[in-house]
Chain A
Amino acid sequence: MKLNNLLFTATTISFALFFLYTSCQDDDNAIVKRNWQLVWEDDFNGNAGQSPDATKWAYDIGTGDNGWGTQELQYYTDKPGNVSLDGGGNLAITARSESFGGSGFTSARIKTQGLFDQAYGRFEARLKMPWGPGIWPAFWMLGSNINEVPWPQCGEIDIMEYRGQQPNLIHGSVHGPGYSGGNAITKSFGFENDRFDVDFHLFAIEWGKDYIDYYVDDQLYQRITPDKVTGEWVYDHPFFIILNVAVGGNFVGFPTPQTPFPQTMLVDYVKVYKEAN
């Protein structure tokens, strides 16, 4: 993972420069220095084909209810062909065009539900996106009380969502009571001359009692505060982490005959921090 560290350093340097030029132009970019302490991580080191660490990750299997509520087309499995380590220090979540369980596509969705959750802190993942129309990867969180308090009351924090037909754009959102689905509070971050599917990028939120800050490569692009949501602020209890690659669905539209399959999201690592005193 030496290469990744190098890249990370280069990115950091360049963003330092970036702020020199733009910090006075946009309040969202104000840096808040916090003292983060690592509490949970998975760097996905291991042999190729190995399933992710069962002490850290559980699976959603099947098609959920109405395609996980958003008319997605894939059947989620725990097969190594859909979710396994790549042997190079990454987790590969792969959407395939294959008939399985009555669906035309397979893919995977893993979660820390019942294994790890946390309220507040920094949640980050270093990801390389798949591509192609109708491909919908996400790095997101749900309130751990979802079984007692149904969605959207439990709360949903989407750290990163992406549409394969817009490979230069990602979206950060919250869904809560009165502002879910198409009415979520959301903002997009884009590259003019680059894409998210050619290199790894670091996606993160920093979450406190009355704010959620969204970062791409340590650049702050959105702060959501209680006054910005059009309903109840429900981000005051532990949430668990989800990583998945969906195919089709309300958010992204259908894949087309031109969508190349298989499509893989690579996850270099997921890390969770708590703020130290």
Chain B
Amino acid sequence: MKNISHNFIPFTLLAFVTLFTVISCKRDLDDLEPATFPTTAEVFIDGFAAGLNYGAFGGSKVTAFDVDTEIKYKGTASMKFAVPDAGDPQGAYAGGAYFTSTGRDLTGYDALTFWAKASKAATIDVVGFGNDFGESRFLTVLRDVKVNTNWQKYIIPIPDASKLTQEKGMFFYSEGPENGLGYTFWIDEVTFERLGTLAHPRAAILDGQDQVFVVETGQTLSIGGTKATFNLPTGVDQSVDAAPSYFNFTSSNPSVASVSSAGVVTIVDAGSAVITATLGDQDAAGSMTVTSTGQAVGPQAPAPAPTASADSVISMFSNAYNNVPIDTWNTGWQFSTAELLEIQIAGDDVKRYRNLNFVGIEFASQTINASAMTHFHLDIWTPDATALPAAFKVLLVDFGANSTFGGGDDSSHELTFTSPLLQTGQWVGIDVPLSNFTGLTNRAHLAQLVLSGDLPNVYVDNVYFYKSGAVTTTGPTVAAPTPTRSPADVISIFSDAYTNVAGTDFNPNWGQATVVSQVPIAGNNTLLYSGLNYQGTQLGSNLDASGMTHLHLDVWTNNSSSLNVFLISPGPVETPFALAVPTSGWASVDIPLSSFSPVDLANIIQFKFEGNGDIYLDNIYFYKPGSGGTVPTTAAPTPTFNAANVISIFSDAYTNVAGTDLNPNWGQATVVTQEAIAGNNTLVYTGLNYQGIQLGSNQNVSGMTHLHLDFWTANSTALNVFLISPGPIETPYTLTVPTTGWTSLDIPLSAFAPVDLTNVIQFKFEGNGNVYLDNILFHN
């Protein structure tokens, strides 16, 4: 057999001549050299290639990987992977990734190859490369890799090597027990190669299908099913999952739908567009056709905040209350065409139903006992015509003492609502005595709510049962946190801790309905807006805040569903900033002043708040970063959650989950210590790259609503926190850094979907800098 690689010689010479010519005429422009990355091919031959690191996946058996000098394909050593039996307490599977800290230039290769054998015939779930424990933009996955007791060579084609100019993810694997039983497999001679014998490249998006989606402006869709197929030197085709970033996406109509380099399609207007892709110079099979109906017609403002006292309410869905568990807001019953979209309107969560003919809402696994309640309430908004005979119907179903459907003890009743109660384009409160549901003979085991009627588009909010009686609003019982910033760095408007701007009018008459008062809360003077619609503040003198960086304020409300704060300069030029409401306790908010652009920061004359509910405000001041050090001098605020409602991981204030490893060895560079800050034990990450926390036991936090944590950093510019359930399934949440003082954050656990909240096993922090953490806990 002859090798015709000599063919390359004339072309190489030609290329060199061309290159020389180009360089010689560009030389006087600049002498910049492009950054170059090593082109090292080897990953594991008889040991780790230089600069190669290993990290086990969360939830895996971290000791599954070892280097074996007894069994090897070639040389002196191979990689051995001991897949655990099902139920192994040290981990459910074997999995991890090999990565370099400096990227490699892999553009000269066309495949990652390796040899493998196993202690028995088995199918390895996934192997691949491109997992860098970060973005993994060029993740390449070969699934269902069959191995047996003979060494065989495996080839993972590189979907488009020209993209891999600085790749860090060299190899990864993940394999669980086979039929519950563990076994061992070996991998050797892992290296990138230029085979030259991979042929007939093909590519696909959406698994090669032409899919059509009816969408609305603002919706985003991710293009999945991105695959690359090559014919191997054995004549058979092999497909790999190629991350979307390998592809170049094109929208036929960017004014209707734009598409990012990561394959995320964003609908920007009404019309049609077709998204297609190329991989290298191959057109990918499959396409996404989007037909946009344009901007959805929906409410601009949230539904009025409920006023019923929380202790006389059983709430199914409202931001104003703690809600009981609901199995589903769309059972998908046969013949139901209803689609459910979870949306937010000015920060308020709303259920939106589209194509509604009828929809089942079910809470059979934890039925509702509304025996002590007197009324049922829900708010609806529809863009559809509501003139008679259009109707909207509400059906309540009680499953009776056996708490299951049927059995002869069920009861139900449906009420029909029509105009003039129903109105188009405005929130309508349906508020009816439960006694009106005459057929509903029991309400101790309510299990279903069914909405139906002639309105295909219905927005739903504030669904709750309540007991009519005095409506009370309770205020905060503790004072807002005392500010810690140096007075030299602060211009204060309203705070007991500083000298405030003189002459300010906190209740100018701008025609508002709001009642303004100042009330002492735990001895601290606090500004109270009752029944807010809008409310101004007239500063005592024009204020130059151009030397400041942030506006700080502390806010407390348990019944507002909408709250904006405005800065105003002459003109008037005013810009709103939306505050998250209702709060859970005092919320300390630090708003970068850039958020208020184009307000003239050198000439601020007024504040304004708009929204609803009852609002407590304190410590309204501008500030700039102080000359303060890089270490917190005050302890994190002590949390005040009822211990019965808390699962604590790290806090002096609660009993923490036993056996938690705050510094598991996941290959990280982070230095972990615990330091006493003002007498309070605090978790310190120094030189963070990433850092795990291995919980002492799997935690079911599905009964919790939020993850709380306090963090402080002077120098971090990137910080994410992840929850992790087995799989591993992990979802990041971005923390705003650097902080100005301690940031207390309550993250809705829904932000971590699709992590299994019934089985949380680990935390992970990723980012940089030095980070102080405290009071890491779940609460409801």
A residues adjacent to B (C-beta < 8 A): 13-14, 17-18, 21-22, 131-133, 135, 163-168, 188-195, 197-198, 219, 221, 256, 258-260
Contact = CB atoms under 8 A, between A and B. Distances in A.
Contacts of A256: 236
A11 to B, nearest CB: 8
A18 B4 contact: yes
A174 to B, nearest CB: 20
B4 A167 contact: no
Taking each of B5, B7, B235, B237, which has the highest tally of chain A beta carbons within 10 Å of its own beta carbon?
Answer: B235
B235 A132 contact: yes
Nearest to A194: B196
B137 interface: no
20 contacts: A13-B10, A14-B9, A17-B10, A18-B2, A131-B199, A131-B231, A132-B231, A163-B235, A165-B236, A166-B235, A167-B197, A167-B233, A189-B1, A189-B2, A190-B2, A193-B196, A194-B196, A195-B233, A197-B199, A259-B236
A22 B2 contact: yes
A192 B9 CA distance: 16
Contacts, number: 85
Nearest to B8: A14
A13 B6 CA distance: 11
A190 B234 contact: no
Contacts of B233: 166-168, 195
A52 to B, nearest CB: 26
Contact of A198 (B3, B199, B236): B199
B15 to A, nearest CB: 14
Contact of A133 (B3, B10, B234): B234
Given A17-B6, A197-B231, A198-B199, 5 more contacts: A131-B235, A133-B236, A192-B4, A197-B199, A221-B2
B236 to A, nearest CB: 4
Chain A interface, DSSP helix/strand/loop, else mixed: loop
Nearest to A16: B10
Contact of A164 (B4, B197, B235): B235
Contacts of B643: none
Contact of B6 (A21, A168, A198): A21
Contacts of A198: 199-200
Contacts of A258: 236-237
Contacts of A22: 2
A230 to B, nearest CB: 24
A13 B195 CA distance: 24
Give 5 closest A-B pairs by Cβ, nearest first.
A193-B196, A165-B235, A190-B1, A258-B236, A14-B7
Contacts of A195: 196-197, 199, 233
Taking each of A18, A21, A190, which has the highest tally of chain B beta carbons within 10 Å of its own beta carbon?
Answer: A18
B194 interface: yes
Given A14-B10, A17-B9, A17-B10, A192 B3 contact: yes
A165 B5 CA distance: 22
Given A18-B4, A192-B5, A193-B5, A135 B197 contact: no
Nearest to A193: B196
Contacts of B195: 193
Contacts of B9: 14, 17
A217 to B, nearest CB: 8
A135 B235 contact: yes
Interface residues of B, number: 21
A21 B4 CA distance: 11
Contacts of A165: 234-236
A191 B199 contact: no
B237 A193 contact: no
A198 B5 CA distance: 16
B231 A168 contact: no
Interface string B652-668: 00000000000000000
Contacts of B200: 131, 197-198
Nearest to B6: A18
Nearest to B3: A192
B202 to A, nearest CB: 10
Contacts of B199: 131, 167, 195, 197-198
A253 to B, nearest CB: 11
A131 B3 CA distance: 21
Nearest to A165: B235
A37 B237 CA distance: 43
A188 B1 contact: yes
A95 B196 CA distance: 26
Interface in B1-23: 1-7, 9-10
Nearest to A258: B236
B235 A259 contact: yes
Contacts of B2: 18, 22, 189-190, 219, 221
Contacts of B194: 193
A18 B9 CA distance: 10
Interface string B206-239: 0000000000000000000000000101111100
A192 to B, nearest CB: 5
A139 to B, nearest CB: 19
A167 B1 contact: no
Interface in B580-616: none
A196 to B, nearest CB: 10
Taking each of B2, B7, B196, which has the highest tally of chain A beta carbons within 10 Å of its own beta carbon?
Answer: B2
Nearest to A219: B2
A185 B160 CA distance: 42
A166 B5 CA distance: 19
A188 B1 CA distance: 7
A133 B194 CA distance: 23
Interface string B636-673: 00000000000000000000000000000000000000
B146 to A, nearest CB: 12
A92 B6 CA distance: 31
A256 B235 CA distance: 10
A12 to B, nearest CB: 11
A132 to B, nearest CB: 5
Contacts of A13: 10
Contacts of A192: 1, 3-5, 196
Nearest to B229: A260
A200 to B, nearest CB: 14
A149 B549 CA distance: 101
Nearest to B198: A195
Contacts of A166: 233-235
Interface in B185-206: 194-197, 199-200
A167 B3 contact: no
Contacts of A135: 235
A14 B6 contact: yes
A19 to B, nearest CB: 10
Contacts of A197: 199-200, 231
A14 B4 contact: yes
A194 B8 CA distance: 12
A195 B196 CA distance: 8
Contacts of B235: 131-133, 135, 163-167, 259
A260 B4 contact: no
Contacts of A221: 2
Contacts of A259: 235-236
